[in-house]
Chains A and B, each alone.
Chain A
């Protein structure tokens, strides 16, 4: 497998990252090197092997659906780049 610059550019966009021409060239080379390392996985027989998502095979803990936190939105919004009346401000999306 080998990724083209075009594909890498698409991947970058998927991750909402932009790359200039020089970065695109370097990144394509790096990602191809990394994926050729990762391709070794294909050689391992894993038929019937359960994939693990939790190293200790624990399942997600549930709790009662009760209010546990106080409203701290003002505190949490104090670190936001731009807010107004409890809203996060971003450039206009719909005119």
Chain B
């Protein structure tokens, strides 16, 4: 059952091949036996209650395609009455008093939440090694990282521990783990999915999205997650189409842009050749390939590592041991309370980014760093604008390498380079996807698609057509 897609499981539930309670119990058993460390909290009791309700709904003929679908929720989304930790000691005891809009929407759709997935602390990381709850293991090879920050979400889908999962992507946190775990991940246009109740890291970049086995499943989940929310001041008042409508459109004549900068120094040869094979597959399907250039994308890393830390330093100032979260014991005075609660509650990478931000935003440095980075963001955005006048979609690798060994990358700058191809879509606010496109040394490789604003339907169509022609998305790790 756990290798099936949403579409297949919905059919199984409809045909009474299994009940939702049976399906949920099957996943819960698998989670309990798993050693991937993909979950921070398993909500087994709640899941079975929701499954029972879903069975009743199905029996009464009021079900939709997602009714009773067991999913894993990234622990960055607030869930009422359920621990919401964001992978941090700071929020280890935090039980959210309210639901994120995404959580509410998924509840309303009658889904079954299996638990909350492990992640890099406050979504800061590319390997899931920055979690207070320990690293997640890659289902394809337990000595490798699953990617980050949505590492638990990616591993749970790839490892057959959930039918799909939710993720968030600030600099690649959906696409990169999707790529390294061999699943499909979609980061929509900025503002497409509400950020309300999604614990903020860098507010002008954060965007939630679905992590699934297939593009078709991603379209089904996006239908529920997307939409305007007045509780999120940056939510877009853009109509939500039915994302499944155009999945079967022909992609004959599709123009694909390959940015030469995405095939530059640092790209692993095997990753490059698999990506080119995938591109040839598209050509065989009638697509036209053009070389394009995103000259400022080289500056995505420095711009991102100013913008994101500045916003995080401001966002995380709310965690001070007073209103919620960790409070240090036996403090001397109020200042000691702030200092010790924050120093003991935050992990190393989070502290590092807070300090980068604090410095870059301090008097006399704002223009040289934050303002400059926001100008560079404009240049990066303009590069994309020019390219999208010539092509329908941009393609390239998601990550320069396949999953690396757990514990092998120790210095922060080398870790930051893992996001070299994903950051620019966040800086420009564009939608991006990772789809399964091959293997190197038995580790998955993801093909990245970047589309113009609000082109999620087009991206899902392109990805679905590729998945009809290839079988990379059907491969599962040995243990599954």
State whether A17 touches B376 (Cβ < 8 A): no
Cα distance A27–B97 in the bound complex, in angstroms: 36
State whether B302 touches A37 (Cβ < 8 A): yes
Q: A30-B411, A81-B325 are in contact. List 17 more A-B contacts (CB 8 A).
A: A8-B355, A11-B362, A16-B320, A16-B338, A17-B355, A27-B352, A31-B355, A33-B413, A34-B412, A41-B302, A44-B375, A49-B379, A55-B377, A61-B237, A72-B97, A79-B95, A90-B334
Which residue of the partner chain, among A27, A40, A42, A55, contacts B381 with CB atoms under 8 Å?
A55
Tell me if B339 is interfacial: C-beta within 8 Å of chain A.
Answer: yes
The verdict on A14 contacting B371 (CB below 8 Å), with A88-B322, A90-B337, A91-B337 known, is: no
Q: How many residues of B contact A (CB 8 A)?
A: 73
Tell me if B372 is interfacial: C-beta within 8 Å of chain A.
Answer: yes
The A30-79 residues at the B interface (CB cut-off 8 A) are 30-31, 33-35, 37-42, 44, 46, 49-56, 58, 60-61, 63, 72, 75-79
Interface residues of A (CB under 8 A from B): 3, 8, 11-12, 14-19, 27, 30-31, 33-35, 37-42, 44, 46, 49-56, 58, 60-61, 63, 72, 75-82, 88, 90-93
Which residue of the partner chain, among A11, A44, A91, contacts B331 with CB atoms under 8 Å?
A91
The B306-347 residues at the A interface (CB cut-off 8 A) are 306, 313, 317, 320-325, 327, 331-340, 342-343, 346
Chain B interface, >50% SS class: helix
Cα distance A81–B338 in the bound complex, in angstroms: 13
Tell me if B57 is interfacial: C-beta within 8 Å of chain A.
Answer: no
Pairs across A and B, CB under 8 Å, 22 listed:
A11-B359, A17-B339, A18-B339, A18-B340, A19-B343, A27-B352, A31-B352, A31-B355, A38-B302, A38-B306, A38-B356, A41-B299, A41-B373, A44-B299, A46-B379, A51-B375, A55-B428, A55-B429, A58-B191, A60-B233, A88-B322, A90-B334
Per-residue CB proximity of B376-408 to A under 8 Å, as 1/0?
A: 111101000000000000000000000000000
A-B contacts at CB below 8 angstroms, number: 165
Interface residues of B (CB under 8 A from A): 94-97, 189-191, 204-205, 230, 233-234, 236-237, 296, 299, 301-303, 305-306, 313, 317, 320-325, 327, 331-340, 342-343, 346, 351-352, 354-359, 362, 368-369, 371-379, 381, 411-413, 416, 427-430, 453
Cα distance A63–B338 in the bound complex, in angstroms: 35
State whether B378 touches A63 (Cβ < 8 A): no
Contacts of B302 in A (CB 8 A): 37-41
Cα distance A35–B376 in the bound complex, in angstroms: 16
Cα distance A42–B376 in the bound complex, in angstroms: 10
State whether B299 touches A49 (Cβ < 8 A): no
Contacts of A56 in B (CB 8 A): 189-191, 236, 429, 453
State whether A75 touches B97 (Cβ < 8 A): yes
Cα distance A49–B375 in the bound complex, in angstroms: 6
State whether B301 touches A93 (Cβ < 8 A): no
State whether A17 touches B429 (Cβ < 8 A): no
State whether B374 touches A52 (Cβ < 8 A): yes
Contacts of B301 in A (CB 8 A): 37
Contacts of A3 in B (CB 8 A): 359
Minimum CB–CB distance for B385 against chain A, Å: 11
Contacts of A52 in B (CB 8 A): 374, 377-378, 381
Contacts of B381 in A (CB 8 A): 52, 55
The verdict on A41 contacting B306 (CB below 8 Å), with A11-B355, A55-B204 known, is: yes
State whether B296 touches A51 (Cβ < 8 A): no
The verdict on A42 contacting B368 (CB below 8 Å), with A37-B301, A90-B337 known, is: yes
Cα distance A46–B296 in the bound complex, in angstroms: 12
Contacts of B428 in A (CB 8 A): 55
Contacts of A91 in B (CB 8 A): 331-334, 336-337
Minimum CB–CB distance for A20 against chain B, Å: 9
Contacts of A44 in B (CB 8 A): 296, 299, 372, 375-376, 379
B358 and chain A: residue at smallest CB distance: A15
Minimum CB–CB distance for A15 against chain B, Å: 4
Cα distance A75–B375 in the bound complex, in angstroms: 42
Q: Which 8 A-B pairs have the closest CB atoms?
A: A55-B429, A51-B374, A81-B327, A46-B375, A15-B358, A49-B375, A79-B324, A16-B338
Contacts of B358 in A (CB 8 A): 11, 14-15
Which residue of the partner chain, among A34, A79, A80, contacts B413 with CB atoms under 8 Å?
A34
Of A15, A17, A18, most buried by chain B (CB within 10 Å of CB) is: A15
Which residue of the partner chain, among B233, B339, B369, contacts A38 with CB atoms under 8 Å?
B369
